Structures are given as C-alpha cells and as structure tokens.
Homo-oligomer: A and B are copies of this chain.
Amino acid sequence: MKNYKLVIQYEGTRYKGWQRQDTTDNTIQGKFEQIFSKMENRKVEIAGSGRTDAGVHALGQVANVHLETTMSPKEIMDYVNRYLPEDIAVISVTEVSERFHSRLNARKKTYLYRVLNTDVPNVFHRRYVHVVPEKLDIQAMRKGADYLKGSHDFKAFCTKKKMKKSTVRHIDSIDIKMVGEEIQFLYVGNGFLYHMVRIMTGTLLEIGLGKRKPEEILEILASCKRENAGELVPGCGLTLVSVEYDERE
C-alpha cells in the first residue's frame, strides 16, 4: 500500500460539505470514497485536511489516501477525474511517505472570504460571493482584524461542537483588500475552529457597517462567549485556498 497526497478543487454549491455523512452521499469525501472503493474493490477511506461546510468552495483542499493500485500518480488522477462530477476535480496526485496525514501534519491554512460590495448583481462570481451592498469602512475592518491576529482563545468565534479540545489558535495574517467591487478577506493561520472564519468575517462586517467598534474584538475574545461575536456569514462566500505542510512532506 502506498500513501498519496491529493490536491482537490471544488465548487461547493451542490454539496453538504466535505465530510461524509451516513444519510447522503452528497459530500465531497463521499464522492471520493465511492470512486476509490470501486477502483480498489474494497472499502477505501480518504482523509481531508479539514472539513469544509455546506456550500464552501476549495481551490486547494488536501487529502491523503492509501491505495494498493499499481497505477502511477498521473494515472490515478486521470482515473478519478473521469468519474468525479464536473464541480469536483483533482489537480495533483503525489506519492508521500507512509506517515503523512493531511489533517495531522497541516501547518498552515489559507481561507478567502469574498464580499460583493455593490447592489449590481455579478453573474459570473455569484456562486462565490456574499453580497453586502451597504458602504463598508475598510480602515475600521482592518483595525478590527489587527486585534484578531496572533494567538488567542477563539472560543467566542466558533460554533461549539466538541468542547473538550483547545480553542486556542494562531492567526498569522488577515489581509482585507478591494478588488474591483469586491472586498476580499484573506486569512492565514495554523488552524481554524468550526465556523471561525465565517464568524470573524461577520464580526468584521458589523464593524465595517459601523454597528460595532474595532476595539470590541478584544472584549469578545476575552468573553469566550459566542453570543458576543457577530453573525455567521453564508458558506458560499468562503473558499479554502491552500493547506501547507512541512517541506519534507
């Protein structure tokens, strides 16, 4: 058995997210496991670097899978792409060491949240943006974002699932830039909690709308209470851009 690292793109619109569910096969992980299980004629499981929620897109999701096949990495890629629906694609397959695990070895993740800041609809980007037509104060949002950078307990910025694990994470950078009529929020960090990017973006948007002050971020972080943070913005605006690993992988 060899271990393969896959880089995967998907438009998440039609799916219930990455993670396989028992009741539906409408998940990205489920699609891959169906194809690999048929290919190997046994039950194959694939591990993703992390879940993405319903509607969330990926430019560079990473997964790994152990396979018995004698096909080359390029042949595996072509085989899988032949059976995947057209809104999911594998853009690279490489053989990696036996110990490589896409989630446990992930060192850094980059997420992009796209806000369309106009009331003129955008036909071509509509599936990838959240529309906020009101005027937004970019400087205030940047100031708010500065308070989120660094290592903090982000409990207030996540929807609770399992509460046992640590909710401390480190954010390297949050870049907020205007690209045409769009405002793009680019988050780089060592990991993100459930809904964390979408709740941070929702909170920053409330700052941009003048409903909150940038300094409130400090109080929200300190409170560790979800109800003090802003709204969860829709999944359609979010894209997992890339996952980085130590160089030796």
* Interface 0/1 of A1-43, CB less than 8 Å to B: 0000000011100000000000000000000000000000000
For A89, give its contact among B11, B77, B122 (CB under 8 Å): B122
Complex CA–CA separation, A87 to B121 (angstroms): 9
Interface of A is mostly: mixed
B77 touches A123 (CB 8 A): no
Q: Which residues of B contact A152 (CB under 8 A)?
A: none
Query: Are B9 and A89 in contact, with the CB atoms below 8 A?
Result: no
**A59 to B57 Cα, complex, angstroms:** 24
Within 8 A of B (CB), among A182-229: none
Which 7 pairs across A and B sit closest by C-beta, in order of nearness?
A89-B121, A9-B123, A89-B123, A11-B123, A91-B120, A81-B121, A86-B126
Partner of A81 from B11, B81, B88, B120 at Cβ < 8 Å: B120
Given contacts A86-B126, A126-B86, contact A77 B120 (CB under 8 A): yes
A-B residue pairs in contact (CB < 8 Å), sample of 12: A9-B122, A9-B124, A11-B123, A11-B124, A57-B124, A59-B124, A77-B120, A81-B120, A88-B123, A89-B120, A89-B121, A90-B120
